[in-house]
A and B are shown apart, each in its own frame.
Chain A
């Protein structure tokens, strides 16, 4: 279970189990996770199969009496998983970089040895893929950020970061869907709505969708 090229499987008490894939944080691995999630969500006793970043959490409707069969099914499922290509929709998100909400824009530039304009153009260049939803309602973990604008998470999280904050945490970026605590660095904001419990599907985006940030304004 701990060999470096094999998946790691561990318990989250009696409520859930965590499957962590070996290998890189990239789209091909994530596509296999989506595939395994689609398969595992149909297994008896499984309430939900929730993709994370190259990992998968299974929550139990009924905790299995014994785990060996489930572990074997996950390992076999991973080996058999062909990457699932989801033809998601592409969202264009206008972003105001900098300003009061994006107040860490300058410190990210300083940390990375870049100008503010460089950080903005590097951040807005890629087509990002929604890898997974998690953290808080409607929040999307995005893959595809340029490593040149990597900045380690805060040692002490902020008590309250604004909803719509566009932030960088380590080599990941994302947009918070509602106000709340955050250990990431906000470089801008957007007014898009990511979550509404009254929608038929409460989250606006799903794994496989893509986001392109559009530079609406840069406040220096």
Chain B
């Protein structure tokens, strides 16, 4: 088990998400950066859907109640345990009573802390992710608080320190800059309802990520992008990544805790292979959209899968080498 000692902002228990409950009005929840959560679980030899802690604000501090492997992935963070510095995208071993402190996040927006065996909270409707609105899943359906003691599945694996290449390096986009995230999008149902000049403005603008951005949605600020005539849709299903244009012309990217349906016009949808980049884009930062075709979006997903396959292979090879040496 692990004990939360201090927490800043809404840290929560998340796995990959709850994907087949839309018909009851239940959205996906799940890690905002699913690539980082998978990578942490791969490093630890866990099931990739094991639950970890998503940490959006620092400092964050916890104590290990027993010897346990853990990994830190996602945002670039400064962390230490028992006087040792832990690099990001790294797995390490904690001893009973060790205190892990995650102090600063020079880059990225969310850090993922995963544990050998995973956090052992009940599966609710097929997932361990926290559903904030209905207050179920995760740890009692709420953000973590100091004093919470989370059970972890016992893992007997003894593993040494190991790091992997961060997704943001391997999957870097050629035109991204340190303060501007570029994400690929497929145009959506109401794109043609915008004049060509407005469409051009949507693509060329560098959108500011406002402080009202969170797990529900990223609210952007920039030139007003409005359809030629107001569009009010009948309520229909939406998924994370959908970019809605409310009447004020300021786009909102729906994220993991978004409502499952809506009626605002949709100009485009962030592709699945790039949604984690939005999850790692910081408040106050900039975001730009790049149009992509459906088939290219599938190719981008294949590229992401290939990266994760390489991680799996590398981690397995390291384990096999260690086993050979010790036998």
Interface residues of A (CB under 8 A from B): 2, 8, 10-16, 18, 20, 25, 47-57, 59, 63, 65-67, 132-139, 141, 155, 170, 172, 177-178, 180, 195, 197, 201-203
Contacts and interface: CB of A to CB of B under 8 A. Distances in A.
A54 B234 contact: yes
Contact of B236 (A14, A20, A197): A20
A52 B241 contact: no
Contact of B25 (A133, A170, A201): A133
B235 A53 contact: yes
Given A135-B261, A136-B134, A52 B23 contact: no
B261 A202 contact: no
Nearest to A138: B25
B185 A25 contact: no
B294 A197 contact: no
Contacts of B26: 137, 202
Contacts of A13: 185-186, 188, 239, 241-242, 269-272, 297
Given A52-B236, A63-B301, A197-B125, A11 B23 contact: no
A16 B239 contact: yes
Interface residues of B, number: 48
A136 B239 contact: no
B65 interface: no
B25 A14 contact: no
Contacts of A57: 22, 236-239
A66 B185 CA distance: 18
Contacts of A139: 25
B241 A202 contact: no
B20 interface: yes
A164 B238 CA distance: 23
Given A135-B235, A202-B21, 8 more contacts: A12-B269, A14-B271, A14-B297, A51-B23, A52-B261, A59-B237, A137-B131, A195-B134
Given A8-B189, A195-B24, A52 B298 contact: no
B297 A59 contact: no
Nearest to A57: B237
Interface of B: 19-27, 124-125, 131, 133-137, 185-189, 192, 232, 234-242, 247, 259-261, 266, 269-273, 294-295, 297-298, 301
Contacts of A201: 24
B134 A134 contact: no
Given A13-B185, A13-B272, A63-B301, A138 B235 contact: no
Nearest to B22: A50
Central interface residue in B25, B186, B240, B294, by most chain A CB within 10 Å: B25
12 contacts: A11-B269, A12-B238, A14-B272, A18-B189, A50-B237, A50-B260, A53-B234, A57-B237, A137-B24, A137-B131, A195-B134, A202-B125
B22 A10 contact: no
Contacts of B271: 13-14
Contacts of A170: 232
A18 B236 CA distance: 8
